[in-house]
């Protein structure tokens, strides 16, 4: 590969960092300015350009262009300035990137598999460009963050997630493949938009949808028998059932369900070091009883069982509130994943209720007196002043986690929670927020974000060639994260490590996950004693390699 072809390949391009010898060997003289610079100088130049944009969406587009031009430089920039760039590459700006995906589309990245081309799935995946694939993030674009159906624009999520697999988890970008299952969209704005790049059709559902997904999974298994597949941003009706259907068919997990559960569990395990209230004494209210909320409750329930509670007692300590109020044994149309957390109406007869036909979140706060409140509802402002003050009234240190993202969907602003709780709340947010002033000091808001979990889970699974991913592996990930909490040694410190430590977190999580996989007999070629070495050996770092032409005669031609 020579000349413009080399410069056009984002995996191989080094731009102005090509040496004099490389420029001669690969016919690059004249195609680049004469000055040879280091990757450090390139990072400085790109960071300066990034900071000169006026909006986050412009910054997002700039970084996506850099990723499609020079991947090594992109990851060097992201890795060195992760705290500043993470909110652009990932939440919250990735949501705006998905909504504007058709307008921002410039160069192809990943794979779009659409219903009209279903007969070509194997042909498309057979492209030699994808030979090294080890990890896939796939979405159908129906439930992008809290923004809903984005159709083909949902591709921004797999691209962003895999960027963090590389930046935080050390997974080589050459082995990462984002995939969008384009089954249409019910987003009328997309369907009417002349610039929309996806299949212009109402979203396909039912048997045709299931058959398409089954064909995709069969093709993936045939092409990459040991691949790790992450389900991402599927709607409530599909997320849990697809995970249950395919979790034993190939190494896969759903980050919205299991990753969110693990980071929430890890943060809550860290929070009890601050509150002093043992796990078995927690009472937890969850606003948002979909797959993500129930996934959190399920893993937290296992933590309570580990702490000594019976399954029945542990389940009774959860209060799941959905759009129709508290889920009880009188709630209609319950999903299977909601049933373990149903409250019995007869046990609530002593509650003081404003409207017995619909038990609100505020009713739960004042009657159940939960110690922790978690939000995954995508309902902006749902944690009202009355709700937060109610939590503070019943708890010396209430745990309050508004986890919905992007920022526009957060249940509360941490600054408001700080005021309403009189500075006593233990706060974790799903999106980045400005720091708080606490006791005269600047106190960063913990971003209780899946980026603390999924890169390490993926790294651990790939390094150990795990055949499947279990809930106990996610519990191991949550405990590994909790073990790294600054609050373990200082109750006045943050619950989670700084974002700048995400690589260290990923390594710790990967080792814990790998060891748990070994204990369950799910690994290949590694033992508990060799997991750490296997994990560290798989870490990719963004640095330029020296290039020498494979054929000296060609370089001279």
Domains of the chain by start residue, with CATH = 38-234 (3.40.50.10380), 258-451 (3.40.50.720)
Segment 316-365, tens digit of pLDDT: 999 999 999 999 999 998 999 999 999 999 999 999 998 888 999 999 99
Q: Cα dist. 449→255, 351, 429, 502 in Å? A: 11, 34, 8, 11
Which DSSP state fits 436? Answer: E
Can the peptide bond before residue 406 be classed as cis, meaning omega within 30 degrees of 0?
yes
Phi, psi of 228 (to 5 degrees): -95, 125
Residue 232 CA to residue 234 CA, distance in Å, equals: 6
Please indicate whether residue 161 is annotated as part of the active site.
yes
CB 230, CB 137: distance < 8 Å: yes
Average pLDDT over residues 10-20: 97
30 vs 145: which has the higher pLDDT: 30
Average pLDDT over residues 403-420: 94
> Is 131 annotated for ligand binding?
no
> Is 143 annotated for ligand binding?
yes
Sign of CA dihedral 20, 26, 29, 31: negative
Segment 198-247, tens digit of pLDDT: 999 999 999 999 999 999 999 999 999 999 999 999 998 899 999 999 99
CA atoms within 13 A on the CB side of 480: 27
CB 456, CB 517: distance < 8 Å: no
pLDDT at 532: 98
pLDDT at 431: 87
Q: Cα dist. 393→15, 232, 371, 385, 390 in Å? A: 59, 38, 11, 12, 5
Q: What DSSP letter does each residue of 386-424 carry, written as one string?
A: HHHHHHHHH-SS-EEEE--SSGGG-SS-HHHHHHHTTT-
Distance of CA 166 to the CA centre of its chain: 13
Token pair belonging to 131: 């030979």
pLDDT at 552: 53
> Is 232 annotated for ligand binding?
yes
Please pick, among 90, 165, 319, 366, the residue that the annotation labels catalytic. 90
Sign of CA dihedral 331, 336, 341, 344: positive
The pLDDT of residue 19 is above 90: yes
Element (H, E) at 189: helix 188-192
- Of 233, 225, 226, nearest in space to 178 by CA: 233
- Of 271, 313, 264, nearest in space to 287 by CA: 264
Segment 416-453, tens digit of pLDDT: 999 999 999 999 999 889 999 888 889 999 999 999 99
Report the percent of the chain where pLDDT is more than 70: 99
Segment 62-80, tens digit of pLDDT: 999 999 999 999 999 999 9
The pLDDT of residue 287 is above 70: yes
The pLDDT of residue 553 is above 90: no
> Is 405 annotated for ligand binding?
yes
Average pLDDT over residues 44-67: 98
Rg value, the chain, Cα = 24
Confidence grade of residue 406 (pLDDT, cut at 50, 70, 90): confident
pLDDT at 556: 43
pLDDT at 554: 52
- Of 237, 238, 267, 239, nearest in space to 255 by CA: 239
Segment 93-138, tens digit of pLDDT: 999 999 999 999 999 999 999 999 999 999 999 999 999 999 999 9
**Which distant-in-sequence residues (6+ apart) come within 8 Å of 416 by Cβ?**
385, 388
Q: Which pTM was predicted? A: 0.94
Please pick, among 14, 161, 298, 515, the residue that the annotation labels catalytic. 161
Average pLDDT over residues 453-462: 98
The pLDDT of residue 555 is above 90: no
> Is 439 annotated for ligand binding?
no
Please indicate whether residue 90 is annotated as part of the active site.
yes
pLDDT at 557: 42
Q: What is the mean pLDDT of the chain?
A: 95
Phi, psi of 135 (to 5 degrees): -140, 135
């Amino acid at each position: 590969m020579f000349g413009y072809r080399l410069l056009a390949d984002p995996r191989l391009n080094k731009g102005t960092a090509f040496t004099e010898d490389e420029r001669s060997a690969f016919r690059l003289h004249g195609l680049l300015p004469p000055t040879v610079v280091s990757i450090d100088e390139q990072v400085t130049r790109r960071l300066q350009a990034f900071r000169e944009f006026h909006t986050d969406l412009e910054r997002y587009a700039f970084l996506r262009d850099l990723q499609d031009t020079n991947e090594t430089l992109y990851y060097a920039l992201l890795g060195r300035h992760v705290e500043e760039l993470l909110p652009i590459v990932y939440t919250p700006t990735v949501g705006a990137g998905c909504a504007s995906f058709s307008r921002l589309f410039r160069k192809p990245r990943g794979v779009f598999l659409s219903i009209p081309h279903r007969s070509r799935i194997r042909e498309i995946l057979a492209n030699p460009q994808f030979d090294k694939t080890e990890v896939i993030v796939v979405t159908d674009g129906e439930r992008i963050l809290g923004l809903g159906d984005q159709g083909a624009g949902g591709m921004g999520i797999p691209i962003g997630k895999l960027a963090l697999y590389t930046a935080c988890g050390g997974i080589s970008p050459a082995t990462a493949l984002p995939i969008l299952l384009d089954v249409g969209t019910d987003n009328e704005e997309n369907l009417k938009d002349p610039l929309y790049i996806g299949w212009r059709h109402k979203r396909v559902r039912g048997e045709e949808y299931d058959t398409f997904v089954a064909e995709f999974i069969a093709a993936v298994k045939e092409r990459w028998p040991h691949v790790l597949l992450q389900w991402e941003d599927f709607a409530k009706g599909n997320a849990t059932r697809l995970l249950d259907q395919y979790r034993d068919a190939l190494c896969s997990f759903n980050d919205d369900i299991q990753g969110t559960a693990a980071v929430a569990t890890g943060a809550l395990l860290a929070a009890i070091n601050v509150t002093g209230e043992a796990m078995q004494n927690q009472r937890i209210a969850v606003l948002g009883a979909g797959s993500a909320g129930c996934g959190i409750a399920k893993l937290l329930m296992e933590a309570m069982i580990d702490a000594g509670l019976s399954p029945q007692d542990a389940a009774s300590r959860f209060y799941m509130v959905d759009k129709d109020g508290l889920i009880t044994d009188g709630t209609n149309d319950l999903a299977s994943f909601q049933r373990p957390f149903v409250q019995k109406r007869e046990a609530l007869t002593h509650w003081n209720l404003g409207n017995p036909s619909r038990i609100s979140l505020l009713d739960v706060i004042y009657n159940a007196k939960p110690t922790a409140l978690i939000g995954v509802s995508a309902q902006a402002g749902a944690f009202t002043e009355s709700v937060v003050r109610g939590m503070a009234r019943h708890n010396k240190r209430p745990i309050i986690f508004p986890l919905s993202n992007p920022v526009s969907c957060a249940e509360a602003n941490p600054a408001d929670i700080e005021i309403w709780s009189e500075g006593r709340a233990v706060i974790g947010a799903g999106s980045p927020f400005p720091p708080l002033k606490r006791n005269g000091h600047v106190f960063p808001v913990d971003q209780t974000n899946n980026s603390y979990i999924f890169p390490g889970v993926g790294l651990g699974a790939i390094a150990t060639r795990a055949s499947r991913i279990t809930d106990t592996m996610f519990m191991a990930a949550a405990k590994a994260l909790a073990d790294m909490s600054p609050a373990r040694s200082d109750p006045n410190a943050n619950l989670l490590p700084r974002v700048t430590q995400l690589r260290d977190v990923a390594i710790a999580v990967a080792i814990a996950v790998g060891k748990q996989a070994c204990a369950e007999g799910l690994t290949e070629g590694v033992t508990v004693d060799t997991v750490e070495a296997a994990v560290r050996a798989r870490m990719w770092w963004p640095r330029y390699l020296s290039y020498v032409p494979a054929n000296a005669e060609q370089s001279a031609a």
